[in-house]
Structure 1
Amino acid sequence: MRLKAPGWASAGGANVRDSGESRSRWGTVATGRRARLSLTAMAVILSLSAAACSATAVAARGAGPAASALRLFISPTDGSANVSPGCGITVTASHGRVRRVTVTTSGSAVPGTLGAGGTVWHSTWPLHTSAHYTVTATASGPGGKTVTQTSSFATLTPSRTYTVMITEGYQQTYGVGMPIKLKFSQPVTRRAAVERAMQITTSKPLVGAWYWLDGNRELNFRPRNYWPQHTRVSFAGHFDGLAIAPGVYGTADLTQQFTIGNSLIVVASTAGHYMKVWYKGKLLGHWPISTGKAAYPTANGTYLTIDKHNPTLMTGPGYKNFPVPYAVRFTWSGNYIHDAYWSVAQQGSTNVSFGCVNVAPADSRLYYDLANPGDPVTIIGSPAVGQWRDGWTDWFLAWNQVLLRSATHMAVEAGPDGSTFVSPSAVPGPALTSTLHGPKPDNYLAS
C-alpha cells in the first residue's frame, strides 16, 4: 500500500512533520532558541600558555629602548560601534608575547587560540550580534616588562536575519544511518564559512563530512560509514554573528544532543521475496515478504526510516483511508514496511503490493517496536531506479560524491574532544560497503 506524503507544516518558527508527532523523536525539530543559549553575564579569562578590522597600540611605560619596543594591539579598537561580528577579536603583541586575554560580555564564552610564537590571539567563532564586549589583554617583553590594554566595543544589529532548523530532537534516539539535517530560512552563499562554523562532538571517533543538498538551504552531515551504535552526539552551530550571505546574519547559536541507538538494518530483495534484518550487528530474521507488483515496483536504493504509526491510514487504487497496522515509512512517495495480514499467502513468492514491503503480522510488529528514525532500509533486485530525495536518500551518495557536495571538500574527524577538518587523503582506508557499515555505490540503480 502507499500513502501520499504530506507537506511540511510550520509551528513556532520550526518546520515539523505531522504536528501531532512533533514532540516525539519521529520528526522532532529544534530551533536556535532551543539551543540553550547562555545569556548570563560572565567574564571569561583565558590563560594562555601555548599556541583581524583595525587596532591601536599601547607601549610599555618607563622603560629603555628594548622595553619600549613592546607594543600591544587589540582589534576592534576601543569605542568602535557597529562592528562586523565576522571580524572576531584579535590581540597582537609586538616584540613580546601575549600572556593573558579577558573577554567580558553579556553573551556566551569567547574561546580563542594563541598562534605559534605566542604573539597573536584570535577568537574562534563569530562575535554575537547586538552585543557589547570588553577585552583586556596583557603582554610581556624583554626585561620582564609588561603592557596591558583594554578595548570596549559593540557589534552591529543586523537588518536582515535568518534562522536554522535541525531535524534531530533533544536527547532523542536515531538509527545508524541518520544524517544531521539543517535547514536555513534564507539562501546560503558563504557555504564554506557555514561548514566551518559547526562543531560535532561524538563519544566514539568517526569520520564524516558536511554536504549540501539540491539548492542552497539544506546542509547535512553524514558519517563515511554508518554511525557506531550507541554513539552520543553533540552538535553546535555558531550562527549568531555568522553572515551566510552579504548582510544576512544569524542572531542565535544552535546546539543539540542526541544518541545513535541499537543498529537495525534491513536488506529487502524484491526478486527473492525475502527481508534480512540485522539487529545489534547480528542477523535477527530472514522474513518472507511481498513488494511492489510490476506496475508499482519498489525501487532500489538505501533509504532511511522516516516515521512510523500504528495504524497509518493509506489510500491507493481501490481503497481509501484504510488502516494499516505497524507501518514504518521509508519514502516520501508512500512506501512503508508494514503488517500485511491480507497477503501472507503471497509473501515469500509473489509481489502483490503497491510499492510497500508487506510483512507478516508478528514480524512487522517486532520490526516496528525496534525501529528508530534513520534506520537503513536497502531495497535490492528491483527493475526500478531509486529516486533521489524520495525520502532521506543520503546513502545514495558514495563517499566521494559527499565530498564533492561539500563547499570545503574536506572530511571531518569527530570524537570526544570535538571535530576538525582534515584532508580526505589523510583518512585511512576506503569507505566500508558491507551490510553493517554502509551500502555499495550506485545501489539505487535498476537491477
Structure 2
Amino acid sequence: MNGIGKRLALVCAVGALTLAAAACTGSGASTVKSAAANGSPSAGAAAAGASAKAAAAKAGPVVTITPASGAISADPSTGITVTAAGGTLTGVVVRTPGDPVTGSYAAGRASWHSTWALDVSQSYTVIATARARDGTITTSTSAFRTLTPAATFSTEIFEGYQQTYGVGMPIILYFSHSITDKAAVERALQVATSKPVIGSWYWDDNCGMAPTCAYFRPRDYWPAGTTVSFTGHLNGVEGAPGVYGYHTLTQTFDIGQSVIAIGSTQTHYTQIYVDGKLAYNWPISTGRPGLDTPDGSYLTIEKENPVLMTGPGYSLEVPWSVRFTFSGDYYHDAYWSVGEQGYENVSHGCVNLPPYAAEIYYNLAVPGDPITIKGSPLAGTWDNGWTMWFLSWSQYLKGSALHEAVEAGPGGSTFVNPATLPPDTAKAPLQTAPAGNANAV
C-alpha cells in the first residue's frame, strides 16, 4: 500500500472510533436498539426472554394436575389438586367408576381441590381447562390410580335405616381398628339434619364395643321430629399410619317424640314427660342401700318383654323391661314390690314400677330416650350405658379431635369455632341434661 492509501485507512479507522464514541453518548433507547442491531449478548438474551414470554402467552396458561398422569399408587388421602398458572380455571371434570368426586375452586379460580379423599384401589381421569386473559385456552388431562393399602379399617353405625330414636340419641360409630389420626377421620364425617342442630363429635378409645368409638351428640336434646342423615366419607382416609378406610358409610334415621323420665331415689317417684308436658307421675322403688341405682342422665338402650333376670337368691322373667345401663339397670314391672313403691328402696338396682306404669312406659320407649336418676349416694360410671349426657357441653367439646363444634342443617354440616356459636338457652331437664347429673349426692 502506498502512502496515500495508508493515510486513508488511518482516517477511516479514526472515523469509525469517532462514530462509536458518539453512539455511546446517545439515549438509552438508542443504546438498546444499537446493541441489539450489533448482536450484543445481553441484549440478545433480553430479546429472547421477551420472545419466550410472548410465546408462553400464546400457548395459554399452564395447568398442573396432582396426582400426575401415570401414577399407579397415588395417596388417596390427599385428594386431587388442580392449579392454573397464567390463567383461571374454567372447568374440572373427574371421571371414575368409584364414588363421585366433588370439589371447590379457591378464590380467583386459580386452583381447585377435591372435597373428600379418593377411593383406594381406584382409577381416575381428570380433565381441567383454563383460560388466559387474551382468551387462550389450555386443557390438561391426568389419568392415574390410587394405592392399594396393606391394611384397612371398617366402620359401622349403630342406627338402623329409617328407625326412630329418642331425643337424646347420639350417632354411634364403631371402628374396627384403633384410630390415631382422629382429626383426619373427623373431617370426613358429615351430618345433615332436617332442622338446624348444633353438636360435636367425641372420641372414645375405651368404649368396650370396638377399638375406637366416636359419638355425635347435639349440644342439647334433638328437636323432636328431626330427620338425620349421616355420611362418612371414609374411603381413602388414613386413620392410622398405613391404615385406610375402604368404604363410604351412609345412614338416615328419625328422631321421634320427646319422652323424658326423671326418677328420684329420695322421693321414690318418677315423672314421665311427653313432648315437654308432664304425662305421668308414678311411684317407684330403686336400689336398696349397697345396691343403689347410680345417678346420671342415661339413655334407653333396648327393651324386652320379658327379660330373664338372675342374681343372688332370685331368677325370674320380668315383664315390660327397658334397659338403661350395660350392667343391667332397667325401668321394669315389679309386681312383687308394689307395696314398697313410693316409700322405700328395695330393688337390686333397677327402677321398680307398678305393672300398669311399666307397660305404658315400655310402649312409649325407643332407644335414646333420656332417663335421669337423681338423689343417689352412688355416682354414675362413664361408658356404663350411653353416658354421653354425663358431660356438659364444654366437656363434650374437649372430646373432639378438632376441638370444633358442628353446625348441621338440611344442606349438611360445617365445623365452626365454638366461641362463635349463639348462647345456649335450653333448660334442663326437658331440653337438655341437668349439669353434674352423674355426681353422687
| Range of TM-score over shorter length | 0.7 to 0.9
Q: Does 1:180 align with 2:171?
A: yes
The residue type equivalent to 2:180 in the other structure is T
Question: Matched residues in 2 for 1:384 and 1:87: separation?
Answer: 49
2:439 corresponds in structure 1 to: 445
1:402 corresponds in structure 2 to: 396
Match of 1:334, SS state, is: coil
1:173-199 C-alpha deviation (Å, 9 max, x unpaired): 111111111111111110111110110
Question: Matched residues in 2 for 1:402 and 1:395: separation?
Answer: 9
Q: TM-score, normalised by structure 1?
A: 0.84
1:198-226 C-alpha deviation (Å, 9 max, x unpaired): 10000000100011124461111100001
Residues 13-412 of structure 1 mapped to structure 2, 5 A cutoff: 64=55, 66-68=57-59, 70-215=61-206, 217-320=212-315, 322-412=316-406
The residue type equivalent to 2:120 in the other structure is T
Match of 1:257, SS state, is: strand
1:365-405 C-alpha deviation (Å, 9 max, x unpaired): 11101111011000011111111111111100111111111
Match of 2:357, SS state, is: helix
Which residue of 404, 412, 415 maps to 1:418?
412
Deviation (angstroms), 1:334 = 0.7
The residue type equivalent to 1:444 in the other structure is A
User: Does 228-237 or 428-437 show the bigger shift?
Assistant: 428-437
TM superposition outliers: structure 1 runs of 4+ over 2 Å: 61-69, 430-433
Task: Sort the Cα spacing of 1:76 and 1:97 in 2 relative to 1 into closer, same or farther, 3 A.
Answer: same
Deviation (angstroms), 1:317 = 2.3
Question: Matched residues in 2 for 1:282 and 1:141: separation?
Answer: 65
Answer whether contact 2:60 2:136 (CA < 8 A) is retained.
no
Question: Matched residues in 2 for 1:129 and 1:431: separation?
Answer: 44
1:218-255 C-alpha deviation (Å, 9 max, x unpaired): 11110000111111000000111111011101111111
Q: TM-score, normalised by structure 2?
A: 0.85
Match of 1:240, SS state, is: coil
Answer whether contact 1:67 1:141 (CA < 8 A) is retained.
no
Answer whether contact 1:399 1:431 (CA < 8 A) is retained.
no
Question: Matched residues in 1 for 2:437 and 2:97: separation?
Answer: 52
Task: Sort the Cα spacing of 1:391 and 1:233 in 2 relative to 1 into closer, same or farther, 3 A.
Answer: same
Match of 1:267, SS state, is: strand
Question: Matched residues in 1 for 2:174 and 2:84: separation?
Answer: 41
Question: Matched residues in 1 for 2:385 and 2:81: separation?
Answer: 45
Larger RCO (alpha carbons 8 Å, 6+ apart): 1
Match of 1:143, SS state, is: coil
Deviation (angstroms), 1:433 = 4.1
Deviation (angstroms), 1:441 = 2.1
Question: Matched residues in 1 for 2:74 and 2:427: separation?
Answer: 49
Question: Matched residues in 2 for 1:137 and 1:210: separation?
Answer: 36
Match of 1:144, SS state, is: coil
1:124-148 C-alpha deviation (Å, 9 max, x unpaired): 1000001000000111111111110
Deviation (angstroms), 1:71 = 1.2
Match of 1:207, SS state, is: strand
Deviation (angstroms), 1:68 = 3.6
The residue type equivalent to 1:415 in the other structure is G
The residue type equivalent to 2:338 in the other structure is V
Question: Matched residues in 1 for 2:197 and 2:383: separation?
Answer: 25
Answer whether contact 1:177 1:374 (CA < 8 A) is retained.
yes
Match of 1:117, SS state, is: helix
The residue type equivalent to 1:200 in the other structure is V
Deviation (angstroms), 1:431 = 6.4
Question: Matched residues in 1 for 2:335 and 2:54: separation?
Answer: 91
Select the structure that is richer in helix: 2
Give the number of equivalent residue pairs: 386
The residue type equivalent to 1:164 in the other structure is T
Match of 2:107, SS state, is: coil
Question: Matched residues in 2 for 1:172 and 1:231: separation?
Answer: 12
Q: Which segments of 5 or more consecutive residues in structure 2 lack a partner in the other structure?
A: 1-51
1:45-103 C-alpha deviation (Å, 9 max, x unpaired): xxxxxxxxxxxxxxxx9975534462111111111111110121111111211111111
Question: Matched residues in 1 for 2:297 and 2:348: separation?
Answer: 19
Identical amino acids, percent of aligned pairs: 53
The residue type equivalent to 1:307 in the other structure is E
Answer whether contact 1:238 1:254 (CA < 8 A) is retained.
yes
Question: Matched residues in 1 for 2:425 and 2:328: separation?
Answer: 30
Answer whether contact 1:198 1:237 (CA < 8 A) is retained.
yes
Answer whether contact 1:175 1:373 (CA < 8 A) is retained.
yes
Question: Matched residues in 2 for 1:214 and 1:122: separation?
Answer: 32
The residue type equivalent to 1:312 in the other structure is V
Match of 1:362, SS state, is: helix
